[in-house]
Chains A and B, each alone.
Chain A
Amino acid sequence: MAEEDIETKIKNYKTAPFDSRFPNQNQTRNCWQNYLDFHRCQKAMTAKGGNVSVCEWYQRVYQSLCPTSWVTDWDEQRAEGTFPGKI
């Protein structure tokens, strides 16, 4: 990894990079993990009074990868309290 900080990485973002945790064609888990990571990061940063903008990376990745309908469904579930993931 290059010696750049997270802000520069976010600024230079083009699309989701290769993630060796998810090397195969089925990228569902990649989308899901980044969706979770963004919302967990957001929750943790807000609770501790930190800078939420560092979480933006995860958001960029899941927005690149996930089908929009999934994101809409999950956002609605979170609003309703029926989201199955742990945030």
Chain B
Amino acid sequence: MTHQAHPYHMVKPSPWPLTGALSALLMTSGLIMWFHFYSTTLLMLGLLTNMLTMYQWWRDIIRESTYQGHHTMPVQKGLRYGMVLFIISEVFFFAGFFWAFYHSSLAPTPHLGGHWPPTGITPLNPLEVPLLNTSVLLASGVTITWAHHSLMENNRKEMIQALLTTILLGIYFTLLQASEYYEAPFTISDGIYGSTFFVATGFHGLHVIIGSTFLTVCLTRQLFYHFTSSHHFGFEAAAWYWHFVDVVWLFLYISIYWWGS
């Protein structure tokens, strides 16, 4: 009988990297078809194949780890590095949008009236819904830490409660923000103010939705007894991502909502 004499995971051949790449091609060319020729077929096909790839790829990882035991400590270490590096890349992604915001707001041009917010823009009151949103995300940071400690202490019921609360807070944030978007007195096409505001907060909102989805997957897995008190990297990765999303919001709140008003 031959067994591997090393702790690493030699992954079996998988079609998902290829389908993922193809979905990326379909999505990008789909965007072009939509922008220039008003057709969404290619884009919809791209989104579908992207969703299918993500579902099946991550399902396979759960099979390899939880059901087949391939995730030894060194493998988990590699996954930790991977998640950290991914989050760092996301930090750089947001850094660009913050750079754009500060570039335009620190030295407002005559076209804007030489001041920020520009002439004609009524910014949102930072002490109203944006402050509520801040408290919602901060609270969700507390509840997810509660969930983690519950998990590590083998407290199943509390872990589920705390994780569910975290997800509900995330959904609450999304609903509040959607309402703000609907009611805002300015739009994305209202000059550089509109552009920087909606692109930065918009990408943040997308990340909240992604984070909430990740957390929901973790909740499902917890309900199916996937996690142990000492091995639950999927949950930790989701928690890191969630804290990252919270921190980005804090920067957005301070820079754009508060200083920028």
List the interface of chain A (C-beta within 8 A of B).
Answer: 28-29, 32, 36, 70, 74, 84-86
Contact = CB atoms under 8 A, between A and B. Distances in A.
10 closest A-B pairs by CB: A84-B113, A84-B119, A32-B110, A85-B113, A32-B114, A85-B114, A84-B112, A84-B111, A86-B113, A85-B110
B120 interface: yes
A36 B112 CA distance: 14
A74 B111 CA distance: 10
A70 B111 CA distance: 10
Contacts of B120: 84
Contact of B118 (A29, A36, A74, A84): A84
Interface in B99-145: 109-115, 118-120
A84 B117 CA distance: 11
B113 A28 contact: no
Q: Is the interface of A mostly helix, strand, loop or mixed?
A: helix
Contacts of B109: 28
B107 to A, nearest CB: 8
A29 B111 CA distance: 11
Contacts of A85: 110, 113-114, 119
Interface in B67-118: 109-115, 118
A46 to B, nearest CB: 22
A86 B110 CA distance: 11
Contacts of A70: 110
B117 to A, nearest CB: 11
Nearest to A74: B110
A80 to B, nearest CB: 13
A84 B121 CA distance: 11
Nearest to B120: A84
A5 B110 CA distance: 31
A74 B115 CA distance: 16
Nearest to B119: A84
